[in-house]
Amino acid sequence: MTLTELQALHELPFFALLTRAHAVHERHFPDGKIQLCTLLSIKTGGCSEDCAYCAQSARYKTELESHVLLEREEVMLHARAAKDSGSTRFCMGAAWRGVRGGTARFEQVLDIVRDVAALNLEVCVTLGELGPAEAQQLREAGVTAYNHNLDTSPEHYPNIVTSHTYQDRLRTIRNVQDAGISVCCGGILGISETITDRLRLLEIISNFNPAPESVPINSLMPMPGTPMADNPQVEPLDIVRMIACARIAVPTAKVRLSAGRSRLSDEAQTLCFFAGANSIFYGEKLLTTENPDAANDRALLANLGLLTLEPDTALAAPLADPALPASPVMPEQPAHANGATAACC
Ligand code: SAM
Ligand code: DTB
Ligand code: SF4
C-alpha cells in the first residue's frame, strides 16, 4: 500500500475502519484462531546499541539485571514450560547488535534452536544483525521465523537509534528472506513518532516481497533510565487503529498485539482482536517486562469464544511474488516532511 492509501484508511471513522479490517481478517483467517507465543530473553542487557526505548542498552543506567547467554538446559526448562502452558511458538531474544558465524555463542544458539525445534514448538529468534551465512545456518537448525523490527519510519529512526541504520535493518531482513526463513517485522508506538511515521512503517512492511509472516505491534513499556522513560502512554484506541491498518496493509500476516498489552483493559484488547490481531505474547514475562497473567488471557479468550492456533513447525516462509521486485529495498524519500530527513536512505 502507499502512504496516501494508508492515510486515507487511518482517517476513516473508527467503526468504518474496524469494519473493513475485520472483513479482511475474516477473509484471510476464517477460523479466527489466536496464536500464543512465549518469549524468553536468552541474553539480557549490556547491548552495544543505543535504541532510546530499550533498557538493555549498555548506554543507559537502568535497573535491569544483565546475564550472559543462558545454558541450553535452562532454556529448555522454559521451552518445555511454554509448551505445557499451551504456547505454540517459543521466541528467544538476545541483546546483541548481531551475531557472527563461527563464534562459540552463535554455535550455542544453533544448539538451542535445534533442541527447542525438537519439542515440536515453532522457534523464533531475534538476535540482531545477520549475514546470509548465519541466516542459512539458523534455517538449517530449524528456525521458523526471525524477528527483526523496523520499529518506525526511516525518517524517525535516526532520532531513536544512531548506532545502526534503517538500511542495516533492511539488509538483515533481506538476508533472512533469502535464506527462506519467515520474517517477523513490526514496530513500536509511543516513541515520540507521528501518525505519519506509523503509517510509513506500514507502507514499507506492506511492500515486502515476500510478505512478512508476522507483524508485531508493540507499545512502549517506558523503562526508567532510558531517554523515553517519561513518554506518555499510547492511547488504547490509537493502538486499535494501528492494528486495523496493519491488518488491511498486510492481510496474510499474523498481527501480533505485543509489548504494552499489560496496560490495556480486556475491552481494549477485545477491540484489537476484532480489528485483526491474531497473535499475542503469552506468559508472565516479555523479555524483561511484565505481560498479562496467563490465566487472565485464557479467561479472556474463552469469554470471547476465540480458539488458539496449533503449532506448525513445517510452516513454509511466504513466497515472493515473481511479478514484483524482491524487497525490502531502501524506501524512497517520502512526499511528506515530518521534521527529520531520511539520513539513512
Ligand atoms: N536486539 C535485537 C533487536 O534489536 O532486534 C532483539 C531484541 S529487541 C528487545 C526486539 C524488539 O523489542 C525491538 O525491536 C522493539 O521493537 C521491542 N522493544 C524493546 N524494548 C521495548 C520497550 N521498552 N517497549 C516496547 N517494545 C520494546
Ligand atoms: C517484538 O516485536 N516484541 C518482543 C519481541 N518482538 C522480541 C519484545 C518486546 C520487548 C518489550 C520490552 C521488554 O520486555 O524488555
Ligand atoms: Fe540492543 Fe535490540 Fe535493545 Fe536495540 S532493541 S538496545 S539492539 S537489545
- Asked, for residue 134, whether it belongs to a domain, the answer is yes
Decide if pLDDT at 197 tops 90. yes
List Cα–Cα distances, 9 to 159, 176, 245, in angstroms: 26, 30, 7
Whole-number Å distance between alpha carbons of 339 and 52: 18
Domain of 124, in residue numbers:
3-302
Calculate mean pLDDT across residues 314-335: 78
Among 69, 91, 92, 149, the mutation site with the greatest number of ligand 1 atoms within 8 A of its Cβ is 149
Bridge partners, 89 (sequence order): 37, 122
Percent of the chain with pLDDT over 70: 95
**What nine digits make up the cell of 65?**
539485571
Bond before 251 cis per omega within 30 degrees: no
What pLDDT sits at residue 336? 46
Mind giving me the DSSP string for 190-251? -SS--HHHHHHHHHHHHT-BSPPSEEEEEE----TTSTTTTPPPPPHHHHHHHHHHHHHHST
- 54 noted as active-site residue: yes
Mutate to test the pocket of ligand 1, among 47, 97, 188 (most ligand atoms within 8 A of CB): 188
pLDDT average, residue stretch 30-36: 98
Instruction: Tell whether ligand 3 has an atom less than 6 A from the beta carbon of residue 151.
Output: no
Between residues 314 and 88, which one has the greater pLDDT? 88
Strand partners, 285: 290
pLDDT tier, 177 (very low <50, low <70, confident <90, very high otherwise) = very high
Instruction: List residues near ligand 1 (CB under 6 A).
Output: 53-54, 93, 95-96, 126, 128, 148-149, 151, 188, 218, 220-221, 223, 259, 287
Which pLDDT value is given to residue 314?
82
**More reliable by pLDDT, 124 or 326:** 124
CA of 153 to the centre of ligand 3 (A): 17
Q: What percent of the chain has pLDDT over 90?
A: 90
Size (the chain), residues: 345
Query: What's the angle, vertex CA 233, arms to CA 231 and CA 238, rounded to 5?
Result: 125
Residue having the nearest C-alpha atom to atom 21 of ligand 1: 54
Mutation pick for ligand 2 pocket among 44, 127, 223, 258 (CB with most ligand atoms within 8 Å):
258
Closest CA to 18 of 271, 314, 325: 271
Is the CB of residue 259 below 6 angstroms from any atom belonging to ligand 2? yes
Question: What's the pLDDT tens digit per position in 259-303?
Answer: 999 999 999 999 999 999 999 999 999 999 999 999 999 999 999
Asked if the model's pLDDT at residue 339 lies above 90, the reply is no
Residue 200 is assigned to a structural domain of this protein: yes
37 is catalytic: no
Does the residue 330 lie in any domain? no
Q: 78-110, pLDDT tens digit by residue?
A: 999 999 999 999 999 999 999 999 999 999 999
Q: Which of 33, 30, 21 is nearest to 274 (CA)?
A: 21
User: The C-alpha cell of 209 is what?
Assistant: 516481497
Q: What is the number of domains present in the chain?
A: 1
Grid cell for residue 289: 517486562
In a domain, 147, yes or no: yes
Closest listed residue to residue 231, CA positions, set 196, 264, 193, 287:
193
Does the C-beta of 49 come closer than 6 Å to ligand 3?
A: yes
Q: What rounded mean pLDDT belongs to the chain?
A: 94
**DSSP H or E run through 139:** helix 132-141
Where residue 144 sits, what CATH number does that domain have? 3.20.20.70
| Distance between CA atoms of residues 72 and 78, nearest Å | 10
Q: Who has greater pLDDT, 330 or 38?
A: 38
124: in domain:
yes
What are the E-state strand segments in the chain? Answer: 35-43, 89-94, 122-126, 145-147, 182-184, 187-189, 214-219, 254-257, 279-281
- 176 CA to centre of ligand 1 in angstroms: 18
Average pLDDT over residues 168-179: 97
Atom number, ligand 1, closest to the C-alpha of residue 126: 6
pLDDT given at position 344:
24
Task: Say which ligand is closest to the CA of 52.
Answer: 3
Asked whether residue 345 carries a pLDDT value surpassing 80, the answer given is: no
pLDDT for residue 17 is more than 80: yes
Q: Is residue 150 part of a domain?
A: yes
User: Is 36 part of a structural domain of the chain?
Assistant: yes
Whether residue 206 has its Cβ less than 6 Å from ligand 2: no
In a domain, 129, yes or no: yes
For 214-261, the pLDDT digits (tens) are 999 999 999 999 999 999 999 999 999 999 999 999 999 999 999 999
The question of whether 344 is a catalytic residue gets the answer no
Which atom of ligand 1 lies closest to the CA of 219?
Answer: 25
What's residue 333's pLDDT? 55
pLDDT (0 to 100) of residue 154: 98
